[in-house]
Structures are given as C-alpha cells and as structure tokens.
C-alpha cells in the first residue's frame, strides 16, 4: 500500500510518500519538505509565531494535495517537540485541523525515542545485541537502549540543536563564553541519564540517527548521502572532538562550505556537535554507526505491524 507520513518536526516539516507492506522495507516514492524551524519561530512566551503557524497550515494543505496526486491510501500525520512544548500548542493543533481537516498526533518524547529505536532495530537486526540509540532533533535529544524491539529505557531531553542554538548561541560565530556555558549545560543534562542507561549493561552496538549526526559524520569523512543508504557510515568520537573547536570558530557562512552541511542547518551544527560529543563521551562511546532509518520509518513500521497483527 502507499502511505504518506507527515512529520511536523522542530526543524523540518516533511511529507514522505512510501510504498510499504508488512514484511518488507518501506520504499520512498516521493518527498516534499520545507525547513520551517518551528523550534526557533517563538514569541517571548514560548508560543509559535503567527508566520510559523501560517506556513505550517500551508504545508499541511500542500501535502494533502500531493497525497491525492500520488495515490496515497493513508496519511500518518504527527508532530514532535516544537508543537508539543509550544505555549500555544493546542491552538496550533486546532487551527491545523480546522483549516485542513488533519488531526496531528503529538508524540511524547518517550514515544519519539521508542519509535526511532524500533526503526534502528529493524535496520540492523538482532545481531546488534544490546542497542544504544542517540537521536538529535531540532527540539530534543532522544536516548533509548535495549535488547528487544521495545527499549528497556527511553529518555527525551530538551537538547535539540535548534532549541539550544536559539537559546544559548546568539552570535555568529558565538562568543567563547557562551559556548562553554552551553557545553556545561548539555553535559549536566545528559549526565543525569547515564546511570539509568548504564545499569542495563554496556551496549553491543551504538547508533546515531537524524540529520545532525549525518552531517557530523560527513564532515569527519563519511560517505556522501548521494552514495545511498546501504553504504556504512561511522562517526568516531576522536574526530568529532577535533571538529568541535573548529566549528565554534566558524560563522554559519563558513560552515555551509563544509561537505554535507546545508544552509538551513549550518547555525545549528555547533550545538548539535556539542550534544553529540557529550553523549558519546558520557556514555563512553568511541564510535557509532549512522542509521539511515529514524522516526518516520518507525511510524511506518508500527503502522504495518498493526495491519499484519
């Protein structure tokens, strides 16, 4: 069957059309997205700005038109931390439904972690043993660990690259003292979760998902995205540690010149690197694999499981 996944994320609103059926990998058929960066389009009280809400409604409407044109049988619409934590989140959801008819399902942070973990588990299989997942989004960091398809622990922290950039790194490039303050903050937040994950035992396999991890891997020497999802990609902590001070000294315009770094995410890359470095250090991860599947694939796989159940 042909499914459409409407992902209202903190950085990007993405409508992905896939051909999928139980027991097979979802095959992407069409992609439509905009870098809306809802996590940064906030008023002083934490409400999403009117221009952000208007663009979101327009994107949902255009996605519905594409779904019809592409023969989509079912649309799976969901929203993550930007809408979940906005002061006017309920109002945003109501407006989207009133103007488009689409009822966005708001995922909790735990849901995000569990569904992303499911996608990673299906991609790598049981041979990975105890799997540790790290996912850096625009609004939050998800951490999950376990032996099965349902993780033994799933944690969400407000450490997304977009959120942190807007709140902590106003300069371009940011001031050194602000970078140090953010580094301390990130490490203190992640350190609170280490005991909960470590009690499960050391992981056999560590993976990172999300655009942030993909871009960090690319600038440290991983293969290009155009080489396809089956090419193994890794992020060594030693290489990342070398890059963090270099990223801190660069402006956004300079970061765009790095391989694989998009203009829309260049400002966020330093915050994402600080989160990735802290997580890998505190969890004692020397190297992780970049997983091509993430939350959207987890949503699709869970839906297919229900169809076949």
pLDDT at position 309 over 70: no
Query: What local confidence, expressed as pLDDT, does residue 33 receive?
Result: 94
**Shortest CA distance to 139 belongs to which of 86, 78, 94?**
86
**What is the CB neighbour count within 10 angstroms for residue 215?**
25
With CA atoms as reference, report the closest residue to 214 among 189, 230, 233: 233
CA distance 31 to 5: 10
Please state, in angstroms and rounded to a whole number, the distance separating the CA atoms of residues 99 and 54. 10
- Confidence band, pLDDT 50/70/90 cuts, at residue 308: confident
CA 97 to chain centre: 24
Locate CATH 3.30.420.150 in the chain. Answer: 125-295
Please say whether the structural domain 125-295 has been given the CATH code 3.40.50.2300. Answer: no
Question: What's the confidence (pLDDT) of residue 24?
Answer: 87
Tens of pLDDT, residues 224-262: 999 999 999 999 999 999 999 999 999 999 999 999 999
Quick one: average pLDDT of 64-78? 97
Which one is predicted more confidently, 116 or 166?
116
Higher pLDDT, 11 or 188: 188
Q: Sort strands 74-79 and 27-34 into parallel, antiparallel or unpaired.
A: unpaired
Domain 2-106, what fold? Answer: Nucleotidyltransferase; domain 5 (3.30.420)
- Write the pLDDT tens digit of every residue in 126-146: 999 999 999 999 999 999 999
Looking at the chain, the domain(s) classified CATH 3.30.420.40 span 2-106
pLDDT per position as a tens digit, 42-62: 898 999 999 999 999 999 999
- Global pTM? 0.95
pLDDT at residue 41, rounded to an integer: 86
pLDDT of residue 23: 85
Residue 307 pLDDT more than 90? no
pLDDT confidence of residue 275: 98
Residue 230 half-sphere exposure toward CB, CA atoms < 13 A:
1
What is the mean pLDDT of the segment spanning 9-13?
91
> Rounded to an integer, what is the distance from CA 112 to the centroid of its chain?
9
Q: What is the pLDDT of residues 85-137, one digit of tens each?
A: 999 999 999 999 999 999 999 999 999 999 999 999 999 999 999 999 999 99
Does residue 128 contact residue 273 with C-beta atoms inside 8 Å? no
Which pLDDT score is estimated for 22? 87
What is the C-alpha to C-alpha distance for residues 294 and 210, in angstroms, rounded to an integer? 7
The crossing angle, in degrees rounded to 10, of helices 211-219 and 269-282 is 90
Residue 190 predicted with pLDDT over 90? yes
């Amino acid at each position: 069957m042909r499914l459409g996944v409407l992902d209202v994320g903190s950085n990007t609103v993405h409508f992905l059309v896939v051909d999928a059926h139980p027991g097979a990998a979802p095959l992407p058929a069409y992609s439509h997205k905009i870098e809306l960066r809802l996590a940064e389009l906030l008023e002083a009280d934490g409400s999403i700005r009117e221009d952000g809400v208007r663009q979101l409604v327009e994107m949902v409407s255009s996605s519905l038109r594409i779904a019809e044109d592409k023969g989509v049988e079912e649309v799976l619409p969901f929203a993550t931390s930007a809408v979940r934590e906005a002061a006017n989140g309920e109002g945003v959801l109501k407006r989207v439904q009133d103007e488009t008819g689409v009822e966005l399902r708001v995922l909790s942070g735990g849901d995000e972690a569990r569904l992303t973990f499911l996608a990673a588990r299906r991609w790598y299989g049981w041979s990975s043993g105890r799997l540790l997942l790290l996912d850096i989004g625009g609004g939050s960091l998800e951490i999950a660990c376990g032996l099965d398809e349902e993780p033994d622990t799933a944690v969400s922290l407000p450490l997304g690259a977009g959120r942190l950039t807007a709140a902590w790194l106003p300069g371009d490039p940011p001031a050194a003292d602000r970078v140090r303050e953010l580094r301390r903050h990130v490490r203190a937040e992640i350190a609170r979760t280490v005991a909960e994950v470590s009690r499960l035992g050391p992981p056999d396999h560590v993976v990172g998902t999300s655009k942030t991890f993909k871009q960090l891997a690319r600038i440290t020497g991983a293969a290009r995205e155009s080489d396809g999802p089956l090419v193994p990609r890794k992020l060594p902590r030693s290489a990342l540690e070398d890059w963090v001070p270099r990223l801190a000294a660069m402006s956004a315009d300079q970061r765009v010149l790095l391989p694989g770094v998009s203009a829309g995410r260049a400002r966020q890359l330093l915050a994402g690197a600080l989160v990735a470095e802290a997580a890998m250090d505190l969890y004692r991860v020397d190297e992780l694999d970049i997983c091509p599947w993430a939350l959207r694939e987890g949503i699709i796989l869970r839906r297919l499981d229900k169809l076949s159940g």
